[in-house]
Amino acid sequence: MSKVVSRALVNGAMGPLAVAALALIPVGAPAHASPAGTARPYTRNVAIVLYEGVELLDFAGPGEVFQAAGAISTYRDQRGFNVYTVATSTKPLTSQRFLTIVPAYTIDDAPKPDIIVIPGGGSGVLVNDTKFMAWATRASGAAEVTLTVCTGAFVPAKAGLLDGRTATTWYGAIDRLREAAPKATVQDGRRFVDNGPIITTAGVSAGIDGALHTVARLAGRAVADRTARYMEYHWTPEPYLAQVYSYLNPSLDAAGRAEQQAELLADEKDYAGAATGLRALIETAPADGWLRYRLACVYALEGRKGDALQALEAAVAAGYRDRAVLLGDPNLATLRTDETFKKLIAAL
Do the Cβ atoms of 22 and 284 come closer than 8 Å?
no
CA distance 237 to 79: 24
Query: Which H or E element spans position 81?
Result: strand 81-87
List the beta bridge partners of residue 44: 81
Just give the CATH number of 44-242. 3.40.50.880
For the CA atoms of 308, 312, 318, 324, the dihedral, rounded to the nearest 10 degrees, stands at 140
Digit-coded pLDDT (tens) for 230-262: 999 999 998 888 889 999 999 999 999 999 999
Q: In terms of DSSP bridges, do strands 198-201 and 192-194 run parallel, antiparallel, or are they unpaired? A: antiparallel
**CA distances in angstroms from 126 to 54, 143, 155, 221, 297, listed in the order given:** 10, 18, 7, 33, 48
Residue 35: the pLDDT is: 42
Residue 39: the pLDDT is: 62
Query: Which H or E element spans position 45?
Result: strand 44-49
DSSP string, 181-200: -TTSEE-SS-SEEE-SSEEE
Digit-coded pLDDT (tens) for 36-55: 444 679 999 999 999 999 99
Average pLDDT over residues 277-293: 97
Strand, helix or coil at 346?
helix
Residue 310: the pLDDT is: 98
In the chain, which residues fall in CATH 3.40.50.880? Answer: 44-242
pLDDT interval class at 183 (50, 70, 90): very high
Average pLDDT over residues 24-32: 35
**CA distances in angstroms from 163 to 118, 305, 334, listed in the order given:** 18, 61, 59
Digit-coded pLDDT (tens) for 4-15: 332 232 233 333
- Assign domain 3-27+252-347 to a CATH class: mainly alpha
CA distance 296 to 319: 14
Is the predicted pLDDT of residue 17 greater than 60, yes or no?
A: no
Q: pLDDT > 90: what percent of the chain? A: 86
Whole-structure pTM value: 0.87
Residue 40: the pLDDT is: 77
In the chain, which residues fall in CATH 1.25.40? Answer: 3-27+252-347
